[in-house]
Amino acid sequence: MIPRYARPEMTQVWEPATKFRIWYEIEAHACDAMAELGVIPKANAEAVWKARDVEFDVARIDEIEAVTKHDVIAFLTHLAEHIGADDARFVHQGMTSSDVLDTTFNLQLVRAADILLADMDKLLAALKKRAYEHKDTVRIGRSHGIHAEPTTMGLTFARFYAEMDRNKNRLEKARWEIATGAISGAVGTFANIDPFVEEHVCAQLGLRPEPISTQVIPRDRHAMFFATLGVIASSIENVATEIRHMQRTEVLEAEEFFSAGQKGSSAMPHKRNPVLTENLTGLARLVRMAVVPAMENVALWHERDISHSSVERGIGPDATITLDFALNRLAGVIEKLVVYPDNMLANMNKFRGLVMSQRVLLALTQAGVSREDAYRLVQRNAMKVWEQGKDFKTELLADPEVTAALTPAEIEEKFDLGYHTKHVDTIFRRVFGEG
Amino acid sequence: MIPRYARPEMTQVWEPATKFRIWYEIEAHACDAMAELGVIPKANAEAVWKARDVEFDVARIDEIEAVTKHDVIAFLTHLAEHIGADDARFVHQGMTSSDVLDTTFNLQLVRAADILLADMDKLLAALKKRAYEHKDTVRIGRSHGIHAEPTTMGLTFARFYAEMDRNKNRLEKARWEIATGAISGAVGTFANIDPFVEEHVCAQLGLRPEPISTQVIPRDRHAMFFATLGVIASSIENVATEIRHMQRTEVLEAEEFFSAGQKGSSAMPHKRNPVLTENLTGLARLVRMAVVPAMENVALWHERDISHSSVERGIGPDATITLDFALNRLAGVIEKLVVYPDNMLANMNKFRGLVMSQRVLLALTQAGVSREDAYRLVQRNAMKVWEQGKDFKTELLADPEVTAALTPAEIEEKFDLGYHTKHVDTIFRRVFGEG
Amino acid sequence: MIPRYARPEMTQVWEPATKFRIWYEIEAHACDAMAELGVIPKANAEAVWKARDVEFDVARIDEIEAVTKHDVIAFLTHLAEHIGADDARFVHQGMTSSDVLDTTFNLQLVRAADILLADMDKLLAALKKRAYEHKDTVRIGRSHGIHAEPTTMGLTFARFYAEMDRNKNRLEKARWEIATGAISGAVGTFANIDPFVEEHVCAQLGLRPEPISTQVIPRDRHAMFFATLGVIASSIENVATEIRHMQRTEVLEAEEFFSAGQKGSSAMPHKRNPVLTENLTGLARLVRMAVVPAMENVALWHERDISHSSVERGIGPDATITLDFALNRLAGVIEKLVVYPDNMLANMNKFRGLVMSQRVLLALTQAGVSREDAYRLVQRNAMKVWEQGKDFKTELLADPEVTAALTPAEIEEKFDLGYHTKHVDTIFRRVFGEG
Amino acid sequence: MIPRYARPEMTQVWEPATKFRIWYEIEAHACDAMAELGVIPKANAEAVWKARDVEFDVARIDEIEAVTKHDVIAFLTHLAEHIGADDARFVHQGMTSSDVLDTTFNLQLVRAADILLADMDKLLAALKKRAYEHKDTVRIGRSHGIHAEPTTMGLTFARFYAEMDRNKNRLEKARWEIATGAISGAVGTFANIDPFVEEHVCAQLGLRPEPISTQVIPRDRHAMFFATLGVIASSIENVATEIRHMQRTEVLEAEEFFSAGQKGSSAMPHKRNPVLTENLTGLARLVRMAVVPAMENVALWHERDISHSSVERGIGPDATITLDFALNRLAGVIEKLVVYPDNMLANMNKFRGLVMSQRVLLALTQAGVSREDAYRLVQRNAMKVWEQGKDFKTELLADPEVTAALTPAEIEEKFDLGYHTKHVDTIFRRVFGEG
């Protein structure tokens, strides 16, 4: 976790206090279930809830762990300090540490997913707003970084919306993947604890019982979860890359927002750097690097080995905290992005009408000019634009061979931007389900 | 693609002939749609179907491409050789190469996914069969590679079944992800082609129209697809690792099947190597390596650059062919796995009852012995087993302090394996939805 | 291996015929050594060389392998068909298949490295030539994609030269890493074969004996080799990215060479796409994806398992063939890159002198103007450039507060490009060891 | 950084205080050089050293940064608070933030490498000590997890020594890679600062001047550095995997040391888990995950973009701290590893002499028995061992067909372990350069 790329809301999910709180709830709910089964006295189960409002003392638990060398035992010892050794005596009965640890880890991931889903909504709202705002703002579409045909800035925002909407859907699936808990004992056979306890605890925590666990919850779930985060990060990189390109000095079709107070370089007004989207590009790499180790974690030895644990201590907090920060940063960038429609037009006209040459070519052939002749006609006028900076339409209108085939109005019509934007509404309807 | 790790069924999806066939279908369906719109004459659209039963000549297309330097144009030229230049003249009108290429790639991935789903079914059937066969075959559960508590071989198969069933579900989602097509023109604006053409072609091919494309179908879809293959590969590694462990000389609880003809080493009967599952471990790495480049492919420049293309020429065939081979190999390994229940029992009894020591400890405390005393009693008898090879139960029965707390019958009961297997039915019901 | 991204020279290293040839040489040299030790008759060793000029029949060997299910035995059987069963009888004595396979794989990697080193030389020569050619071609340096201060195109080529020169050095080290052979028997103890045989064979093949092998040569060597290829690929991506940026429509400071015959779009002269460097970006990802599996291959079980083998069947050929192709493609791109010095100047002057604003600021403060005043002066003139398209120098010369502090000559001097290029010679000397 | 997997020595390299200290030294040395060039007054340069013994106040610098939004400026402001604004006025003149940041990052990596090299020495010493200690401790060599031929535990330690020795060599190279500094200005042209300053500062810090930088030091260096850490991590996994296998309940040839105080399970003496080496397996994954993002960092846009920065804030500390911890943990594991030679012998004899069957087979053929007959003889006796648990040598000695070919002494000799260990000295000489 890199503090400057962390938001408190997500960081808090991974704090020791949160973890101990979840441990407590698991143990307390488990006692309830055991009492209901008649395995332990109801009074003892109820007594555990005496600590309901306690804030566990992390330093004290660490102190005990320094002696016991076992985190769960340290916590249970501390819990007994609150509810009394006698009342605490049935807590954790028949359970294994992993029952608590794995269920907790999954619950933390679920909470992280919920925050990420809310981030997504914020980002989607920003993208949608900007999409409608610039639905008809024409700019040149580019393939290979080279001008191709006109499109609109709204379509750019809309495609990022569609991509992030897919990502939200994926994240919902990923959340579902890890929303399970397990209280099944040393090798998952429920030898010392009734499956009902697992069912009860999971229901209370909003989790599903893991249908079959060993000592641990199977790690293919987590591999899928982190892989999904990796895909989302890659989409963030996609959006960030577009903005970085738009802000290039020579392109300047948009800029990250600079607050009045914020100094780029007051002496060099052009020197406003897309540092937020560059940063997002790097953060995407950081999130993505969790994917492979999460997959390497799947193949554990027999009923479990503990190789996955250190990996998850790293990537669990790091990937979710970084992604949460990145989604929020990106939402802010989109909300406040300064768009320059005039520069978009100027760029499109850099080669004075040349981007329309293919349409003219098509029109000539449709008007009966042979393919070869049409090429020749378009090319000789295009070359004047390319080499001498002439205006394409003007040249065409002045070329008798061209005007023999197409009327001035027809030529004029080929330069109508509406030709390229006529299906924008259709596409918006597809993306947003409305006009 | 490594020939020895390839099955013809999947390889065929990626053959040039298959690709050209799909190209043809896309073009022909597109002509139908354009004819329906009145954009091209119905007769021309119908004429395209004259080539319905043609097997396109890959060598001839390559020959043309050597001249035109453009694969789609080469194909169209060859197509015209079949249906006549005149009838062919409206083919591909208003379309971009990427419309054909991307829709084709997705259709190939869909077909690949269908084969993989069938592979999954085969694997699931094998796992289920073996799970029921060994539902009650007791073996020791191990954490950290160290004996823990008893479980059954059926539970091992069942957990792999559950994991692969999750993978099947993921693969269905991944198939859905890439089951889209796009015929939207140079920058995705449908400037030169009506969206109806896309809708018609996609419907004919069993694809959904991509709601918003640029020149290309967005690559977050493919990232998710390959990430899913990576998770499945990791699960294969998980199963393979278990079998490799079981086949170790010192463990020998199971072996990959050796046909009578197959020579391990006739002189060294113990020398049967788990080469299939070792191979699967390596194949898993090969599949997994597609994940990161697929994610790096997401961030294309503006409306598209072509950096993703070479990556996909590699990972498209390689990852699907390798995974298909691996799933089939694994299904075969599971079907024919030779299981040694006797060795399982022998291993479990390596420390003559010691795996039951925790149950005895618990029983003593429940019988009123103090925790400290119970430990002392268990430990002194356990040490005789550990250091002198005595039998744990026998020692306990001979220890007056133990028998003061527990009757022989009670001690006997602690060594009942049924205690550990009593919930196997419950777990099977969870996994298989039946007893 | 993707045929279109493969050069015959490298492909040939990985062909079955090459492999069998190396197997043959290993066996023949091993016989020589055994004869020298007196372990086998000299005549038999000599007889093996009868096949010196034989081209082994790959199809025939495959045919035999279909029966024996063992590649090395199939080869030996075929070899016996050439030199006679009687003379062949001591071939391979005391050796293990891995002795042959691993030594061969390393020799193939060494040969691959030699080809890659020659590729490097070609690329370095091209970079150096272009660096000197454009040593003084001024262009704007950019940080964050935003204009910063002037630099020269020669420096750009020179830094790529320096980077590739480092890569050559790394590749030499990587070649050294895998230039070992092992003939040490089933678990590396030389139980059945004298270490002298290993020494002799390695010496003949230009390899070093592996100091300690098990059944296999340790895979940390290969991990380092493929990691190095990954770094080189990343540098290729670095160069490719620069060129793609330079070729953007709005920048157009350079273009990949288009042959006269080659059609970009004749009607759209601006539509020349940097497809080679985009392709190189993708190829870099393909090479890089070999790195992680090569690292996962290091941890083999005990004296060996065979999980690494399938991985290497993939990445061995694929990574080297792709990198070879990429280096050659890049060398060609650099050699023929069309550079546009005029556009470089035009881009630099897009904000009419504004890139010099920091120098003017510094000059004003050095002339005794307070920091605050200097800022104010620079800023008010800069803003006229930024907002009204004025020329910065002209404005400064017309600003009495500025001219009160700086003489016209001093102002003029601040716009001298020589200020920025004065250390180019120094840097060239550092990079090329000469002026 | 995960606190429980961090050692103070390495953590300290990455602390803010360390970073500011290096910034200070760079600035102070740069002033010296500028004074020597006559660019700034000598008195000012000397004055900077007044802060030589100051411990910079990290909180105060953070406070200033909260206002200035720029870390280097915040530091310089704080420095001025110590040495006085007037004396501070020439500090940083002509430099760019990156000059300080990149040189500092490399110096931190160099220091990290030095700590890692010392770790390596510790690990190598432990491996060497254990190798000699168990040079002649015979154990079975295993391929595919299956018994093959005898080897010694000393050879196992020796091969890990050789592997780690290669890694040390690689790390020395990697250290060299990043031991450069750059003070070359905004785009690396030295426009505002003389190259002599860079030379002087680098010399003082033990770095080499970067021959050609842009605004940043080229990131291929760092890619190579982190790739090397990834290889080392993979070797750690290799050693860890061996130990985990040795500690398996059924194998038990070695165990991680358990201190007297440390509780495994007192009631289950067999339940000693190889948690340290399992943890090392996970840590290896954590280190390795830095490799790909470091490679993705190489391709920066033009003279620099800042996408690499966030990545390095993560992987710089994380990969070095984790690797340092892992190397130390591994050294401890090796030093204290409890080896069980008796179990090694017992395991080797699990199939009562069968591992010698190949030697007997060879001996029979060498004694003139036909290959077919020899097979038959060995096999029929081997089968009695395999199926009925007989002793192989006893059976051979009782088989008249065998004794017709081999004398009892000859048979006896085939079971001599010395046959397999006769070259151990040779191998040790190769590895350790001594007997």
Does residue A341 have a pLDDT over 70?
Answer: yes
**In this structure, are C214 and C285 located in the same domain?**
yes
Contacts of C189 in chain D (CB under 8 A): 141, 149-151, 155, 420-421, 423-424, 427
- Return the minimum-mean-pLDDT range out of A150-154, B125-129, C73-77, D252-256: C73-77
Banded pLDDT at B320 (limits 50, 70, 90):
very high
pLDDT for res D62: 94
Taking only the tens place, the pLDDT of each residue in B181-191 is 999 999 999 99
**In this structure, are D38 and D50 located in the same domain?**
yes
Q: Which residue of A195, A291, A303 is in closest CB contact with B426? A: A195
Q: Which residue has the higher pLDDT, B112 or B73?
A: B112
Does residue A418 have a pLDDT over 70?
Answer: yes
Query: Do the domain assignments include residue C420?
Result: no
Taking only the tens place, the pLDDT of each residue in A91-114 is 998 899 999 999 999 999 999 999
Banded pLDDT at A264 (limits 50, 70, 90):
low
pLDDT for res D268: 72
Q: Is residue B107 classed exposed, middle or buried when 0-12, 13-18 and 19+ CB atoms within 10 A define those classes?
A: buried
D207 neighbors D103 (Cβ within 8 angstroms): yes
pLDDT under 50: residue ranges of chain D: none
Per DSSP, C354 falls in state G
Give the distance, in angstroms, between the CA of residue A16 and the centroid of all CA atoms in the same chain.
25
Does residue B123 have a pLDDT over 90?
Answer: yes
- Structural tokens at position A67: 């002696």
**Average pLDDT score over chain A:** 94
**In this structure, are A324 and A373 located in the same domain?**
no
Parent domain of A395: 354-414
Taking only the tens place, the pLDDT of each residue in A160-201 is 999 999 999 999 999 999 999 999 999 999 999 999 999 999
**C-alpha distances out from residue B223 to A232, B219, D247, Å:** 10, 6, 40
Q: How far apart are CA C382 and CA C404, in angstroms?
A: 18
User: What would the mean pLDDT of A70-91 be, rounded to a whole number?
Assistant: 91
pLDDT for res C227: 98
Query: Do the domain assignments include residue B221?
Result: yes
pLDDT for res D264: 54
Q: How far apart are CA D178 and CA D200, in angstroms?
A: 18
**In this structure, are C334 and C317 located in the same domain?**
yes
Banded pLDDT at A236 (limits 50, 70, 90):
very high
User: Measured between alpha carbons, how far apart are the two ends of chain D, in Å?
Assistant: 42
Does residue A266 have a pLDDT over 80?
Answer: no
- Tell which C residues from 264 to 293 touch D, by Cβ distance under 8 Å: 281, 288, 291-292
Largest CA distance in chain D: 104
pLDDT for res B368: 86
Q: How far apart are CA B214 and CA B211, in angstroms?
A: 10
pLDDT for res A15: 97
On whether any CB of chain D is under 8 Å from the CB of B23, the answer is no
Interface test with C, best of A142, A246, A268 (most C CBs within 10 A): A268
Amino acid at C323: L
Alpha helices in B56-211 (DSSP H): 58-68, 71-83, 97-133, 153-177, 195-205
- Taking Cα atoms as reference points, which of C271, C250, C242, A144 lies closest to residue B304? A144
In chain D, how many H helices and how many E strands? Answer: 20, 6
Amino acid at B89: R
Alpha helices in D134-219 (DSSP H): 153-178, 195-205
Query: Following DSSP, what letter does each residue of A22-65 receive, concatenated?
Result: HHHHHHHHHHHHHHHHTSS-HHHHHHHGGGTT----HHHHHHHH
- Tell which A residues from 119 to 158 touch B, by Cβ distance under 8 Å: 141-145, 148-151, 155, 158
Q: Is residue D171 classed exposed, middle or buried when 0-12, 13-18 and 19+ CB atoms within 10 A define those classes?
A: buried
Largest CA distance in chain A: 104
Does residue B39 have a pLDDT over 70?
Answer: yes
**C-alpha distances out from residue B200 to A75, A208, B196, B207, D121, Å:** 63, 42, 6, 10, 69
Query: Do the domain assignments include residue D206?
Result: no
Q: Are D143 and C215 in contact (CB < 8 Å)?
A: yes
pLDDT for res D266: 53
Do the bridges between strand A180-181 and strand A208-209 make them parallel or antiparallel, or are there none, so unpaired? parallel
**In this structure, are A388 and A369 located in the same domain?**
yes
Taking only the tens place, the pLDDT of each residue in D57-103 is 999 999 999 888 888 989 999 999 999 988 998 999 889 999 999 99
Q: Are A145 and C383 in contact (CB < 8 Å)?
A: no
Domain end among A349, A365, A390: A349
**In this structure, are C213 and C321 located in the same domain?**
yes
> For residues A273-299, b (16+ Cβ closer than 10 Å) or e, as one string?
bbbbbbbbbbbbbbbbbbbbbbbbbbb
Query: Do the domain assignments include residue A377?
Result: yes
Q: Which CATH number fits the domain that encloses residue B56?
A: 1.10.275.10
Contacts of B173 in chain A (CB under 8 A): 173
Q: How far apart are CA A54 and CA A76, in angstroms?
A: 14
Query: Do the domain assignments include residue D434?
Result: no
Amino acid at C363: A
On whether any CB of chain D is under 8 Å from the CB of A5, the answer is yes
Query: Following DSSP, what letter does each residue of A161-208 receive, concatenated?
Result: HHHHHHHHHHHHHHHHHH-EE----TTSS-SSS-HHHHHHHHHHHT-E
DSSP helix/strand/coil, B257:
coil
Residue appearing with tokens 């539970």: B155
Other CB atoms within 10 A of residue D131 CB: 24
Query: Do the domain assignments include residue B387?
Result: yes
pLDDT for res B382: 87
Query: Do the domain assignments include residue A149?
Result: yes
Domain end among C93, C116, C136: C93
Q: Which positions of A are annotated as active-site residues?
A: 144, 265
pLDDT for res C379: 87
**In this structure, are B392 and B313 located in the same domain?**
no
- Rounded to 10 deg, the angle between the D195-205 and D16-37 helix axes is 130
Taking only the tens place, the pLDDT of each residue in D216-240 is 999 999 999 999 999 999 999 999 9
Across chain C, which has 435 residues, the per-10-residue mean pLDDT values are 94 97 98 96 95 93 89 93 91 92 98 98 98 98 95 98 98 98 96 96 98 97 98 98 97 89 61 94 98 98 97 98 98 98 94 86 86 86 88 94 94 93 97 82
Q: Are D311 and A286 in contact (CB < 8 Å)?
A: yes
Question: Number of folded domains in chain B?
Answer: 3
Provide the number of CB pairs (under 8 Å) joining chain B to chain D.
Answer: 118
Q: Which CATH number fits the domain that encloses residue B373?
A: 1.10.40.30
Q: Which CATH number fits the domain that encloses residue C220?
A: 1.20.200.10
Banded pLDDT at B435 (limits 50, 70, 90):
low
Nearest CA distance, A60 vs chain B (angstrom)? 25
Q: Which of A7-11, A90-94, B271-275: highest mean pLDDT?
A: A7-11
**In this structure, are A26 and A161 located in the same domain?**
no
Other CB atoms within 10 A of residue C370 CB: 10
Q: How far apart are CA B259 and CA B247, in angstroms?
A: 16
User: What would the mean pLDDT of B280-284 be, rounded to a whole number?
Assistant: 98
Q: Which residue of D214, D231, D238 is in closest CB contact with C224? A: D231
Query: Do the domain assignments include residue B369?
Result: yes
Q: Are A212 and B298 in contact (CB < 8 Å)?
A: no
Q: How far apart are CA B118 and CA B123, in angstroms?
A: 9
**Average pLDDT score over chain B:** 94
- Tell which D residues from 86 to 125 touch C, by Cβ distance under 8 Å: none
**In this structure, are C207 and C249 located in the same domain?**
yes
**In this structure, are D58 and D135 located in the same domain?**
no
Q: Identify any residues that bridge with C304 across adjacent strands, giving them in sequence order.
A: D143
**In this structure, are B132 and B279 located in the same domain?**
yes
**In this structure, are B167 and B196 located in the same domain?**
yes
Nearest CA distance, B283 vs chain C (angstrom)? 6
Q: How far apart are CA B139 and CA B347, in angstroms?
A: 8
Domain end among B61, B93, B125: B93
Does residue B102 have a pLDDT over 70?
Answer: yes
pLDDT for res B265: 57
Per DSSP, C406 falls in state S
- Structural tokens at position C138: 């001024």
D270 neighbors B351 (Cβ within 8 angstroms): yes
Query: Following DSSP, what letter does each residue of B196-227 receive, concatenated?
Result: HHHHHHHHHHT-EEPSS-SSS--THHHHHHHH
pLDDT for res A260: 59
Cα angle B235-B236-B242, degrees, rounded to a multiple of 5 = 90
A74 neighbors A117 (Cβ within 8 angstroms): no
pLDDT for res D267: 61
Taking only the tens place, the pLDDT of each residue in D180-210 is 999 999 999 999 999 999 999 999 999 999 9
Contacts of D143 in chain B (CB under 8 A): 273
Give the distance, in angstroms, between the CA of residue A373 and the centroid of all CA atoms in the same chain.
51
% of chain B at pLDDT higher than 90? 83
Q: How far apart are CA A26 and CA C234, in angstroms?
A: 48
